[in-house]
Chains A and B, each alone.
Chain A
């Protein structure tokens, strides 16, 4: 019995930690979706780029990935800004039958990024084995008579902590700074924002940059605990939009909660069903959210707040 509880709690903890990182990925996508109403299908590939940056900094210069965060994040920000300014913004202005050109454009961008990585870095699996990779804190170290054993992996915890810090920083940015408020205004109502003097084009550029920076940061936080190969972007893009649907399209609070839910759900699926079923599990949540809760978690939050 104790073993069951232990397994469950451990899975829960792992899921929670994973969820924190997932939330970061989802946040980036939610911001982009909220402001520009486009699904960034290159989202995971941007993360992959950041992970390669962290990998090479580690392998060549022995820089710890947690420090590379501070290099990769601004780098990805500028990459995002560049992509939005020179490729995406022009497309958004063009008149066409199908409004999905922006989405297809991100597909093209993702293809190029993935393939360039394959060509230059080969498809070999990479990792950054940091010295403290296997360090963990054990419950029994602190509570000798604990009926069960729980462990908290150091890198996982560190990643989670930094993800939380990032999220809080983002919250500050969005609520306390002028640019942040302008971004939120643009997300709520483009025309009103324009009338109030918000430079919508610039907000889009900033938003994409921030979205890219967030997912780039998530990548650096992931690489110590995961492994890297050129095509991993795809699954993280999938994760990104499952979270977005789960959390509510374009909602930042929803993305955080959605990320946590997905993290816990995947952890449970992996423990009790097996690793191979993760993608199917993701789709199940995705479909369930679509059918039963189309507004996502955000719609539940909204109802509570407005006191329906």
Chain B
């Protein structure tokens, strides 16, 4: 069953075409990897799905209903959570407070929010750090905090934007585990990533963008052998 449907989405900024006629679906329960060279339009696509700007053309459907012209907070209420490429914690708040803030979306009161928040922190391995001010957390933990916050909104679908950038191998493995646990909970995931190994091992299916257009879609194996994809990445320093 298609949870998210991206139908002929184009996005122009003045004269610049950031996305051109992109179409694909994300099936419920799968992990879909979104890859492509820098500037291909991946984050723009996320921003369109997430509601930061409407598509110039085309539609985005979530659970069969159009979300193309909704505000980000409305889309979040419908069940789409999102993390950002450059992590944006609420800096002067503790990790716990950060997550409580987003837990209030579903909670009825503060104890309820706190409960959801503590669960999310436990889930992402941040329980011990819950009283630390998020500004002081190292990058790896801040990335986990991003995910914890998004999880506290109890989403059905999670958009992860380059969560692995800047992490060391140990942190990467931790994160892979967390993402697998998220999938096990039944949450659908769409993930933008440059780390090929991560994407290929995590994703059920992969979509490739280049210059704002979709150039390939398929299983990791199919994508790995696709000549168009290989050509698009020639010159990209990213290796497996």
Binding site for B on A (CB under 8 A): 97, 302-303, 306-308
Contacts and interface: CB of A to CB of B under 8 A. Distances in A.
B14 A308 contact: yes
B169 interface: no
B14 A306 contact: yes
A97 B14 contact: no
Contacts of A306: 14-16
B92 interface: yes
Q: How large is the interface on B (under 10, 10 to 19, 20 to 34, 35 or more residues)?
A: under 10
The 6 closest A-B pairs by CB, nearest first: A306-B14, A306-B15, A307-B15, A308-B14, A302-B14, A97-B92
A31 B92 CA distance: 32
A97 B93 CA distance: 11
Contacts of B16: 306
9 contacts: A97-B92, A302-B14, A303-B14, A306-B14, A306-B15, A306-B16, A307-B15, A308-B14, A308-B15
Nearest to B92: A97
Contacts of A303: 14
Given A97-B92, A307-B15, A308-B15, 4 more contacts: A303-B14, A306-B14, A306-B16, A308-B14
Chain B interface mostly: loop
A303 B92 CA distance: 39
A188 B14 CA distance: 17
Contacts of B14: 302-303, 306, 308
A97 B14 CA distance: 35
Contacts of B15: 306-308
A302 to B, nearest CB: 7
Contacts of B92: 97
A90 B16 CA distance: 38
Contacts of A307: 15
A214 B16 CA distance: 35
A307 B15 CA distance: 7
B93 to A, nearest CB: 11
Interface string B7-18: 000000011100
Interface in B1-33: 14-16
A306 B16 CA distance: 9
A3 to B, nearest CB: 47
A97 B15 CA distance: 38
A17 B184 CA distance: 71
A308 B15 CA distance: 7
B12 to A, nearest CB: 8
A302 B16 CA distance: 13
Contacts of A97: 92
A306 B13 CA distance: 9
A303 B15 CA distance: 9
A162 B105 CA distance: 59
Among A97, A302, A306, A307, find the residue whose CB has the most chain B CB atoms closer than 10 A: A306
Interface in B84-133: 92
Nearest to B15: A306
A303 B14 CA distance: 7
A178 to B, nearest CB: 28
A190 to B, nearest CB: 14
